């Protein structure tokens, strides 16, 4: 009797489960849209915030580490002189009081805030700042130091003043100094080696080092001597590794974690249907695009590139890949980036334009080509299939070539592809990080591996880099966006927002367009 009961229970369980899953997946709309983390009442002190994420951090070394899983964590401990504004479009002083710039735009004198201490208790001074920036610059080959390429010298003028001298006028310098790799650490790593220091880094941030069980969780605890009085609100923050997206979803719904980082778009809407969970999107700086290898025919022909750009149904891609959570892209720059020009005449789906451009091209009756994508990426595969279908009526037969992600990256870098899908997000609130990479062959990436070489685009980008006047810079970037829309080195596809799901107990959670999230303002209601 008992054995029968066990068996029947199992079958019943499975059937019930199936029914519940179906019910879950049918759910839609709900709280998926706005709201969520806005403050409800006064902030409450204490509590542990748990964030579930697919991948563990790799290293706490802010100079040598490139993955967001690590960056979003060490940013809570290590602060730079300047930081990004909440809208992600500008910088504001953080450890710096402010700065002045010389008439030739080549010397920046930065005043430091006084009385700021590291979590170790030592005071932060200009000597620490000089050490930190020099250390970053020193690691240009293996780390982020390339961001400091315009810096000639950093001098500690007095205890609270730092002078940064540039090799040439360089407008993005303050944004560069706001990058996490330029965060301030104690001089000479407080007497440790670099490797020893980053086992338990010391910074001026709202949180300090706690514990890291690799592959399981990483915990930071509140810095009780944090210089911004009253903050942080939480006692600790724990990033838990939960590789499976379904499990992350269930954990936030079951109240086991507070925040689900990057839920899948396919389950995003249904996540918000749980009464205790808010699913929210935040504007990002992500641009997904189709790259043309201009080393290969017929992609060296601007008419071919323009024609293909006019054939693609971007709305269909947004619906299939992002389940409607995104917008078709019209420009080289993204809406979350300063100087984005909404009125850029980007090429959108236009049958007449596609036909006329094909007729004017070297291959009016079409051709066979390949589209390179990273294997195992369902979003990229869907995008590729839509593009394949869109191009076929015009006589362009596309073979989709999936390659392992790193092999795919290799092929693009070595220009061994014809068309490829790629994307970009920004790390600093200045477009130069991307435009230098994307349109200037001297930027070290063969114009984002397209071999695009346009004198107009290069001149405009270099003018914008050197221009201190904001209005003139705006004009240069608008022109650059117009030129790149016309010359179509890429077919811009879509702008994707960042997705998060969090418990309704979480307040003050904001993600900047750069993707990072300052946790010092976050609190949890009881």
Q: Which tokens go with 237?
A: 């923050």
403 in Cβ contact with 374 (< 8 Å): yes
Cβ atoms of residues 2 and 9 within 8 Å = no
Between residues 126 and 238, which has the closer beta carbon with respect to another protein? 238
Q: Which is nearest to 511 in space by CA: 280, 264, 231?
A: 280
User: Among residue numbers 196 through 225, which ones bind another protein (CB under 8 A)?
Assistant: 213-216
Rounded to a whole number of angstroms, the minimum distance from the CB of residue 499 to another protein is 19
Q: Which residues sit opposite 469 in a β-bridge? A: none
**Before 232, cis peptide (omega within 30)?**
yes
Chain center to CA of 77: 19
Number of residues that bind another protein (CB under 8 A): 57
Identified binder of another protein from the candidate list 28, 246, 365, 397, rule CB under 8 A: 246
DSSP states of 247-260: HHHHHHHTTS-SEE
Determine if 359 is a binding residue for another protein (CB under 8 A): no
Among 316, 381, 400, 445, binds another protein (CB under 8 A): 445
Among 44, 101, 241, 463, binds another protein (CB under 8 A): 241
Does 9 bind another protein (CB under 8 A)? Our answer is no
- Strands, E, within 406-485: which ranges? 419-424
Among positions 48, 211, 244, 351, the unique one binding another protein when judged by CB under 8 A: 244
Q: Nearest 5°: phi and psi at 142? A: -110, -5
Sign, CA dihedral 256-258-262-263, equals: positive
Minimum CB separation of residue 9 from another protein in Å reads 11
Contact between 34 and another protein by CB under 8 A: the answer reads: no
Round to whole Å and give the CA distance between 394 and 162.
60
Q: Which is nearer to another protein, 45 or 214 (CB)?
A: 214
- Asked if 413 is part of the footprint of another protein (rule: CB under 8 A), the reply reads yes
Measured from the CB of residue 261, what is the shortest distance to another protein in angstroms?
A: 13
Q: Report the b/e string of 240-265 with b at 16+ CB within 10 A.
A: bbbeebeebbbbbbeeebbbbbbbbb
By CB under 8 A, residue 284 contacts another protein:
no
Taking the complex as a whole, the smallest distance from the CB of residue 252 to another protein amounts, in Å, to: 9
Per CB under 8 A, the list member of 37, 223, 251, 309 interacting with another protein is 251
Q: Which of 105, 153, 247, 356 binds another protein (CB under 8 A)?
A: 247
Among the listed residues 411, 432, 409, 437, the one whose alpha carbon sits nearest the alpha carbon of residue 422: 409
Terminal CA-to-CA distance of the chain, rounded, Å? 46
Smaller CB distance to another protein: residue 42 or 142? 142
Taking CB under 8 A as the criterion, the residue among 100, 275, 406, 455 binding another protein is 406
Q: Is 21 in the site for another protein (CB under 8 A)?
A: yes
Nearest residue (CB) to another protein, 381 versus 463: 381
Residue with Cβ nearer another protein (141 or 352): 141
Q: Which of 16, 40, 122, 442 binds another protein (CB under 8 A)?
A: 16
Give, in degrees to the nearest 5, the angle at Cα 268 between 212 and 429. Answer: 65
Shortest Å distance, C-beta 506 to another protein: 17
CB 488 within 8 A of CB 289: no
Nearer to another protein, 422 or 435 (CB): 422
Q: Whole-number minimum distance, CB 213 to another protein, in Å?
A: 7
Label residues 284-295 b or e (16+ Cβ within 10 Å = b): bbbbbbbbbbbe
Binder among 87, 195, 196, 469 for another protein (CB under 8 A): 195
Nearest to 256 by CA among 300, 217, 285: 217
Tell me: does residue 42 bind another protein (CB under 8 A): no
- Edge-to-edge, what's the strand order for the sheet holding 151-158? 96-101, 107-112, 161-166, 151-158
Site map (CB under 8 A) of another protein, residues 62-81, x = contact: ----xx--------------
Contact status: 422 vs another protein (CB under 8 A): yes
Q: Which is nearer to another protein, 56 or 390 (CB)?
A: 56
Under the criterion CB under 8 A, does residue 24 sit at the interface with another protein? yes
**Piece in contact with another protein (CB under 8 A), picked from 11-19, 174-182, 219-227, 346-354:** 11-19
- For the chain, the helix, strand and coil percentages under 3-state DSSP, each to the nearest 5: 35, 25, 40
Residue with tokens 């982020």: 144
Query: Using the rule CB under 8 A, is 410 a contact of another protein?
Result: yes
Give the binding site for another protein (CB under 8 A). Answer: 2-4, 6-8, 10-11, 13-14, 16-18, 20-21, 24, 52, 55-56, 58-59, 66-67, 141-143, 146, 195, 213-216, 240-244, 246-247, 250-251, 253-254, 256, 403-407, 409-410, 413, 422, 424, 437, 444-445
């Amino acid at each position: 009797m008992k054995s029968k009961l066990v068996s029947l229970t199992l079958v019943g369980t499975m059937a019930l489960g199936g029914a519940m899953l179906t019910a879950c997946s049918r759910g839609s709309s709900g709280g998926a849209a706005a709201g969520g983390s806005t403050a409800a009442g006064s902030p409450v002190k204490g509590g542990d915030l748990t964030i579930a994420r697919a991948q563990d951090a790799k290293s706490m070394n802010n100079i040598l580490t490139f993955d967001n899983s690590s960056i979003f964590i060490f940013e809570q401990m290590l602060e730079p002189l300047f930081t990004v504004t909440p809208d992600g479009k500008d910088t504001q002083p953080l450890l710096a009081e402010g700065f002045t710039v010389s008439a030739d735009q080549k010397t920046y004198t930065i005043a430091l805030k006084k009385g700021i201490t590291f979590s170790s208790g030592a005071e932060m001074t200009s000597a620490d700042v000089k050490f930190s920036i020099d250390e970053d610059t020193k690691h240009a080959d293996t780390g982020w130091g390339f961001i400091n390429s315009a810096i000639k010298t950093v001098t500690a003028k007095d205890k609270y003043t730092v002078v940064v001298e540039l090799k040439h006028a360089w407008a993005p310098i303050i944004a560069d100094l706001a990058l996490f790799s330029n965060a301030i650490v104690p001089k000479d790593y407080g007497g440790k080696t670099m490797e020893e220091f980053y086992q338990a880094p010391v910074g001026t941030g709202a949180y300090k080092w706690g514990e890291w069980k690799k592959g399981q969780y990483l915990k930071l605890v509140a810095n009780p001597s944090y210089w911004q009085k009253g903050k942080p609100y939480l006692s600790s923050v724990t990033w838990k590794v939960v590789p499976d997206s379904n499990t992350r979803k269930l954990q936030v719904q079951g109240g086991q974690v507070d925040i689900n980082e990057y839920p899948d778009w396919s389950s995003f809407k249904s996540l918000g249907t749980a009464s205790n969970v808010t699913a929210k999107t935040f504007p990002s700086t992500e641009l997904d695009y189709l790259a043309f290898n201009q080393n290969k025919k017929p992609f060296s022909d601007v008419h071919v590139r323009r024609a293909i750009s006019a054939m693609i149904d971007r709305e269909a891609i947004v619906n299939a890949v992002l389940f409607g959570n995104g917008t078709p892209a019209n420009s080289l720059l993204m809406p979350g980036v300063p100087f984005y020009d909404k009125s850029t005449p980007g090429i959108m789906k236009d049958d007449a334009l596609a036909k006329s451009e094909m007729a004017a091209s070297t291959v009016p009756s079409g051709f066979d080509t390949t589209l390179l994508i990273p294997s195992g990426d369902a979003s990229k595969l869907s995008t590729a299939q839509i593009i394949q279908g869109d191009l076929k009526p015009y006589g362009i037969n596309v073979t989709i070539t999936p390659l392992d992600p790193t092999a795919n990256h290799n092929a693009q870098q070595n220009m061994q592809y014809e068309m490829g899908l790629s994307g970009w997000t920004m790390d600093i609130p200045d477009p130069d990080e991307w435009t230098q990479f994307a349109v200037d062959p001297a930027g070290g990436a063969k114009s984002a591996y397209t071999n695009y070489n346009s004198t107009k685009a290069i001149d405009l980008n270099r003018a914008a880099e050197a221009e201190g006047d904001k209005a003139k810079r705006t004009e240069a970037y608008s022109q650059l966006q117009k030129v790149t829309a016309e010359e179509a080195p890429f077919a811009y596809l879509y702008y994707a927002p960042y997705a998060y799901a969090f418990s309704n107990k979480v307040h003050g959670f904001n993600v900047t367009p750069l993707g990072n999230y300052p946790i010092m303002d976050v609190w949890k209601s009881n």
